[in-house]
Structure 1
Amino acid sequence: MTIEKAVSALTKREVAIDVKYISLGMGWDVQKTYTVSNQTRYEVPKGKFGVIEAYPLYNLYKGTAYDATGSPYGTVYAYKPVGVCFNQYTT
């Protein structure tokens, strides 16, 4: 079985400040689509029913977001699809 799928990756950061009567919010999103593929072979014993499940496999990237003055104000997480992971079993 060969699987190829387009997977969307979203990097998001939001900051919100509430000061008595002032409310400020800002944020950003970066979205990109990656194509991941992999293949597997699974021999199902006679009289059994085989199941193959495919899931995207991600690498985690962690960084620091900075404001306009160069001061750090939060952590940014990004998940990049890098492959396919299979779960195989019989019932």
Structure 2
Amino acid sequence: MKSRHLIRFGTAVTALTTCLVGVGSTAEAQPTERSTDIHAVTAAAAYPLGKLVNVRSAGTKCGTSPIAKASGSGGIRLTISETKSVSTTLSADIGVSYKVISAGVGWNVQKSRSITVSGSRDVSRGKHGTLTAYAKYSGKKFDIFDNLSQKIVERNKKAYKPIGVCFTYKER
């Protein structure tokens, strides 16, 4: 037996489809997303009617995992030139859907971006050099406001999108 229930929380409406199978089994609710509602329910969201508030810049930072590397002995020029796909990074355990985060920060947090990695450095004679490239990110900090409890439930969460490249150079 299937039934469709509409639950109203303030101005937002969430549709749940309930499937009951056999006697003694438990009901399982499957949320459905409405493409026009930025506060859509997802199965993983702790605050399905949450929204981002106090969105502000988190500045820029360089990643910690190398995305390209070149090394060689003195008297040469090390060059890195390629295009890489780099993912957005998010704070762990954010209790709202990706759709809500994307709307709040202004970019799709599930989408990778292509960045061009291009740089060079001359290695001194008699030395060995290593040129390493890292993704450079621009970020936003935000708090999560739960519409049901009418309070901020998570603070200082962060989302970063790749915007370019940072380089380090070491010689020995």
| TM-score of the pair, normalised by structure 2 | 0.40
Amino acid in structure 1 at the alignment position of 2:124: P
d(CA) in 1 for partners of 2:121, 2:158: 35
Amino acid in structure 1 at the alignment position of 2:132: E
Paired residues of 2:135 and 2:166 also in contact (CA < 8 A): yes
Amino acid in structure 2 at the alignment position of 1:31: Q
d(CA) in 1 for partners of 2:127, 2:147: 61
Paired residues of 2:146 and 2:152 also in contact (CA < 8 A): yes
2:128 aligned residue (49, 59, 67): 49
How far is the alpha carbon of 1:86 from its aligned partner? Answer: 0.5
d(CA) in 1 for partners of 2:111, 2:151: 27
Give the aligned partner of residue 62 of structure 1: 141
d(CA) in 2 for partners of 1:38, 1:78: 22
**How many residue pairs get matched?**
79
TM superposition outliers: structure 1 runs of 4+ over 4 Å:
none
Paired residues of 1:4 and 1:35 also in contact (CA < 8 A): yes
Give the aligned partner of residue 86 of structure 1: 167
RMSD: 2.1
When structure 1 is superposed on structure 2, of 61-70 and 73-82 the one drifting more is 61-70
Q: Of Structure 1 and Structure 2, which has the larger fraction of its residues in strand?
A: 1
Q: Superposition pairs for residues 1-91 of structure 1, below 5 Å?
A: 1=79, 2-11=81-90, 13-14=94-95, 27-29=96-98, 30-69=109-148, 70-75=150-155, 76-91=157-172
d(CA) in 1 for partners of 2:85, 2:158: 20
Residue 42 of structure 1 aligns to a residue whose secondary structure is: strand
Amino acid in structure 2 at the alignment position of 1:34: R
> Unaligned stretches of 5+ in structure 1?
15-26
Please give the per-residue CA displacement for 1:45-76, whole angstroms capped at 9, x wherever unaligned: 22221101111111121112121345322133
Q: Of Structure 1 and Structure 2, which has the larger fraction of its residues in helix?
A: 2
d(CA) in 2 for partners of 1:8, 1:68: 30
Higher relative CO (Cα under 8 Å, sequence separation at least 6) belongs to 1
